[in-house]
Chain A
Amino acid sequence: MSADGHAAVVAAPSLAARRKRSRLLAWIGHLRHSPAGIFGAAIVLTWSLLALFAPWIAPYPPNKIDPALVANPYPSAANWLGVDHLGRDILSRLIWGARTVLTVAPAAVIGAAVLGTILGLLAGYKGGVVDSVIMRVGDTLLAFPKIILYLIIIARFGASAFNIIAVITVTQAPIIARIVRAVTLDVKNRDYVAAARMRGESLRFILLSEILPNARGPLIVDFFLRLGYTVIAIGVLGFLGVGLPPPDPDWGSMIKETYGMIFVWPHMTIIPALAVSSLVIGFNFLATGLREAADDA
């Protein structure tokens, strides 16, 4: 009898975990019914695979300069998408550029999500001074027009992948903190949270295991929308000349470098512009699909 009871107690968490996993799978399954979601997922998947296997897929080294090719830089059998003003293969630079943006953007958004989630949970659950301080600092950061904050910080600390990730993390965390805080305020007085408190669970357990799962839906949708914005932000920084340092390929910088030559060789500018747009469209449609799936599930 007592052995049975013990077994049931041990089995409970794994059952809960399994149920949670199947709910997540069901959600992803619902994505099938959303054409927008499938379309977005396909684009994101394609770019991710290209980025992952860049060294094997890219036909040329991305920084290989060949001045002879500039005489006829248009798309050809040897260079499918043509070459840029220095004779570098555009397709190879796009593929390697995908690698850059698909590393920097998720790193920045994950950083913001982790920081924002922790701050939002603490602010919502603790209330009082902790809440006011966190939200006050967040509001001050949000009052800054984002692009100006980026400019000031990057002009000050220099443009590097790490600094760009840091800037995006710091500026986006307050928004995520707001989302998580709202959910926390909503559920912190529910009975199961009170029960956990009375069982003497640690603060970490209450925040992460009892409260956080409630915010999972909005957070996942927000995650993909935010990835889209972040790809735009990285592109803007590159276009303004404060992005990732050359010569490594970065889509925004590719546009900036060739923009002045658009009257002569429009393809050098238009192709990377199409690449950025397609990736952002992919992330946004994927987010839309996930939201529709969440409504249906």
Chain B
Amino acid sequence: MSRYLTRQLVNIIVTLLAVSFLVFALNELTPGDVARKLLGPYATQDQVDRLYREMGLDRSVFTRYAEWLWNAVHGDLGQSIVYRRPVAEVLWDRLGNTLLLAAICFAVIVPFSILLGVLAGMRERGLVDRGISVFSSICASIPEFAMGVFLLAIFVVWLGVLPGTSPLTRSGQWPIWMQFVLPVMVVTLYDAGYLISMIRASMVEVMRQPFIRTAVLKGMGFRQVVMRHAMRNALITPFTVILLQLNYLVSGLVVVEMLFAYPGFGRMMLEAALAKDIAVVEAGTLVAVSVTMLTQLFGDLGYMKLDPRIRV
């Protein structure tokens, strides 16, 4: 067990190093832009060149990467060009907002999809199953930006019962909690579509097992069979998938953040990537990749705990 953990942690560190160098190299192929961008279009070439040298951009990629890495390990992530603040400040700010939104979404998505997935899977090809399956596959097929447009048109433009933007500041008559309703709805409908079909498939599988038939034949009520025997087993396989939604929720929220002007992590990454603000892009990518790999690790560990047949 501890050997497995050590190997996975080494794996994560190696991947993080590879990823950070990749991002660095990709962005550094045109370092001249950075000095020009900082000084604006009216600076002379002379000034640009001087800043270029002052920032140390004339040294080799490897030297600069090593320096960046040294600073990063010591907690200094550099200065953001776009936001003109230390990267760490911007990053934690935005990440906090996104984690809040992600946590709310997660808390809604998981029970919602377990309920529908189990209902659909307990009687395969029944009426309920057909209905829920069509609903979930349509939801999973509507891209978030389209879903956002539809919900916005209905609830904001037509009915006027919800705010159309979520800047997290008190603006107009809408309380802040109402600003979360539309983003959470969009993410839930899109993401739950996928989860429901995973849970349904697993439930269908379990309901075909002999021990379910035994339980039914010995006269146990159907509701009890589903709740006590089937559901527990049916949730083992989708467990990892459920956890993996966490990392979609951290970096995949960019569309929702753009739709509703939510000050989150994804929007920060978009703005930084477009402005070639490499310090922010580097730090943000590392955070996102760490989240992915750690959820994967926790997923595997949890999976082993849930299903004693699996060993490493």
Interface set of A (CB-CB < 8 Å, partner B): 36, 139-140, 143-145, 147-148, 151-153, 155-156, 228, 232, 235-236, 239-242, 252, 255, 259, 262-263, 266, 269-270, 273-274, 276-277, 280-281, 283-285, 288
Contacts and interface: CB of A to CB of B under 8 A. Distances in A.
B62 interface: no
Given A152-B285, A156-B29, A274-B146, A147 B266 contact: yes
A277 B19 contact: no
B243 to A, nearest CB: 15
A140 B254 contact: no
Nearest to A280: B141
Closest 9 CB pairs of A and B: A145-B251, A273-B146, A155-B273, A151-B273, A281-B141, A273-B149, A239-B145, A232-B143, A280-B141
Contacts of B157: 262-263, 266
Contacts of B137: 36, 281, 284-285, 288
A143 B141 contact: no
Given A145-B247, A147-B266, A239-B258, A140 B138 contact: no
**In which size bucket is the chain B interface?**
35 or more
Given A235-B143, A262-B153, 6 more contacts: A140-B19, A144-B289, A156-B27, A239-B258, A255-B145, A284-B141
A277 B145 CA distance: 10
19 contacts: A36-B134, A144-B288, A145-B247, A145-B288, A147-B254, A148-B285, A151-B274, A153-B26, A156-B276, A240-B270, A263-B157, A263-B164, A273-B150, A276-B143, A277-B141, A277-B146, A281-B138, A281-B141, A285-B141
A235 B269 contact: no
Interface of B: 15, 18-19, 22-23, 26-27, 29-30, 134, 137-138, 140-146, 149-150, 152-153, 156-157, 164, 247-248, 250-252, 254-255, 258-259, 266, 269-270, 273-274, 276, 281, 284-285, 288-289, 292-293
B284 A240 contact: no
B66 to A, nearest CB: 20
Nearest to B26: A156
A79 to B, nearest CB: 20
Contacts, number: 119
B191 to A, nearest CB: 13
Contacts of A242: 270, 274
A147 B270 CA distance: 9
A145 B252 contact: yes
B93 to A, nearest CB: 18
Contacts of B273: 148, 151-152, 155
A259 B251 contact: no
A283 B143 CA distance: 13
A266 B255 CA distance: 19
Contacts of A269: 149, 153
A152 B254 CA distance: 14
Contact of B15 (A36, A139, A266): A139
B269 A148 contact: yes
Nearest to A234: B143
Contacts of A262: 149, 152-153, 157
B186 to A, nearest CB: 12
Contact of A143 (B134, B142, B293): B293
A148 B284 contact: yes
Nearest to B255: A236
Contacts of B258: 239-240
Contacts of A36: 134, 137
Nearest to B252: A147
Contacts of B145: 235-236, 239, 252, 255, 273
A148 B287 CA distance: 11
Contacts of A152: 23, 26-27, 273, 281, 285
A145 B292 contact: yes
A259 B251 CA distance: 22
Nearest to A153: B26
Contact of A148 (B30, B144, B251): B251
A4 B29 CA distance: 66
A236 B285 CA distance: 19
A273 B149 CA distance: 7
Contacts of B143: 232, 235-236, 276-277, 280
